Amino acid sequence: MPPDPASDPSSPQRLWKMGRVVLQRETAHRGGKTVIVIKDFATHLPLSVIETIAKRVRAACGCGGTVRDKRIEIQGDQAAKVRAVLEAEGFEVRGLK
């Protein structure tokens, strides 16, 4: 069982209320490749926190990704893994099941 994010001093959850995010599957303009987009982050979250979340999601999924315009793009169709990581970080996740 992973450690509780609230007890991890490097966890952004200790400083910020995480809020709700939306997962979306996209293939447009990517040569037919699928990406999972995490969007609609709370407006008070700075880009540094979003980049930290992106790094943790990429590590958990074992894939690449990027942060663009306060949206995280994760390569591959791994919605279940992405959802699990975000919920562990304290987000309410909407969108893909």
φ, ψ of residue 51 to 5 degrees: the values are -65, -35
Q: What is the pLDDT of residue 17?
A: 74
pLDDT tens string 31-55: 889 999 999 999 988 999 999 999 9
Q: What are the residue boundaries of the structural domains of the chain, listed by start?
A: 5-95
Overall CATH class of domain 5-95: alpha beta
Alpha carbons 73 and 1: distance in angstroms, whole number: 27
Whole-structure pTM value: 0.80
Alpha carbons 61 and 88: distance in angstroms, whole number: 14
Asked if 12 and 82 touch (Cβ cutoff 8 Å), the reply is no
Alpha carbons 97 and 89: distance in angstroms, whole number: 18
